[in-house]
């Protein structure tokens, strides 16, 4: 891997068949979720010029298989600690890993040069599902790939972020006419299911923070959504709120998404992340 000058985020894959995101900075890279198979996540890392041995930590959002499938094997093979909440670790019942790190909602954890502050989002995992605000030297990242409804807590926490990775799972109309059973449709569209294109658009119109420079749309359904529809719905909401300056990246299940480089947005000198000060962007 070449030298990383700025903080970069790349969704390696996102959807019901597996989720994984690579976060690179000035220290060792971090994987958020390893829901792809070990072989597939390794292949995608190598395709980017990243050796799996470089990864410094795995951070898990929740215990569903599409977020944990390859995590334990990846940890053992490469000596990587896995960060989870105690309740997620209990319900996951994972085989042995190289080491455990503990996450607590509302408490910041410094992991490989990033400051992760987890908070609970609305989703139907057996234990809590986490979203994150991730403070970096190049600005803050909001991260929530499985979220049934945009809560006041999420709105507040994401307001001052520069980059948001957020779910745009389904089109309401496509879900309604799609092949799933009525009970499954109700689960997906419910407040503990998955966020629709339309719900994300409402959030964009009404609550998108002025500091947000990029939206990465995550966890798109391959049955009840189309990438072009998800992007169009989000773009129309940005246009309605006068935010054509915000970039949209659509993640996919079957391929690595475009990398977002936060370092390109920073023109002032970076600051250390310490307990008293947050990195501040010059806009």
Residue among 283, 132, 133 nearest 211 (CA): 283
The confidence band for 274, taking pLDDT boundaries of 50, 70 and 90, is low
pLDDT at 192 (0 to 100): 82
- Is 136 part of a structural domain of the chain? yes
- Is 52 part of a structural domain of the chain? yes
- Is 245 part of a structural domain of the chain? yes
Q: At 201, list the tokens.
A: 């658009």
Residue with tokens 């475009």: 258
pLDDT at 232 (0 to 100): 98
- The rounded percent of the chain whose pLDDT value lies above 70 is 92
More confident residue, 272 or 35: 35
pLDDT at 2 (0 to 100): 45
The mean pLDDT of 28-33, rounded to a whole number, is 98
- Is 283 part of a structural domain of the chain? no
- Is 266 part of a structural domain of the chain? no
Q: What is the pLDDT of residues 202-241, one digit of tens each?
A: 999 999 999 999 999 999 999 999 999 999 999 999 999 9
pLDDT at 1 (0 to 100): 42
The CATH number that applies at residue 127 is 3.60.15.10
- pTM (two decimals): 0.91
- Is 257 part of a structural domain of the chain? yes
- Is 88 part of a structural domain of the chain? yes
From start to end of 19-113, where are the E strands? Answer: 20-24, 30-34, 57-59, 82-84, 100-102, 109-111
Query: How many domains are there within the chain?
Result: 1
- The rounded percent of the chain whose pLDDT value lies above 90 is 84
Domain housing 14: 8-261
- Is 164 part of a structural domain of the chain? yes
């Amino acid at each position: 891997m070449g030298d990383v000058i700025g903080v970069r985020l790349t969704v390696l894959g996102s959807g019901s068949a597996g989720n994984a995101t690579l976060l690179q900075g000035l220290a060792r890279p971090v994987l958020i979720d390893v829901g792809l198979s070990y072989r597939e996540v390794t292949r995608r890392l190598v395709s980017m010029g990243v050796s799996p041995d470089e990864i410094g930590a795995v951070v898990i959002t929740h215990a569903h298989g599409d977020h944990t499938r390859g995590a334990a094997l990846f940890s053992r093979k490469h000596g990587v600690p896995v960060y989870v909440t105690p309740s997620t670790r209990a319900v996951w019942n994972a085989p042995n890993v190289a080491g455990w790190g503990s996450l607590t909602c509302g408490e910041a954890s410094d992991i490989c040069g990033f400051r992760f502050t987890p908070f609970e989002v609305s989703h139907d995992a057996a234990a809590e599902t986490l979203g994150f605000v991730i403070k970096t030297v190049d600005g803050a990242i909001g991260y929530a790939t499985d979220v049934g409804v945009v809560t006041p807590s999420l709105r507040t926490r994401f307001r001052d972020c520069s980059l948001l990775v957020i779910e745009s799972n389904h089109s309401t109309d496509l879900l309604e006419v799609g092949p799933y059973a009525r009970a499954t449709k109700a689960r997906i569209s419910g407040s503990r299911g998955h966020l629709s294109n339309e719900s994300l658009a409402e959030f964009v119109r009404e609550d998108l923070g002025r500091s947000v420079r990029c939206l990465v749309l995550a966890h798109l359904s391959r049955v009840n959504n189309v990438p072009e529809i998800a992007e169009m719905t989000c773009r129309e909401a940005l246009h309605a709120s006068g935010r054509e300056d915000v970039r949209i990246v659509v993640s996919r299940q079957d391929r690595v998404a475009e990398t977002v480089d936060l370092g390109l947005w920073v023109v002032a000198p970076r600051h250390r992340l310490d307990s008293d000060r947050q990195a501040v962007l010059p806009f």
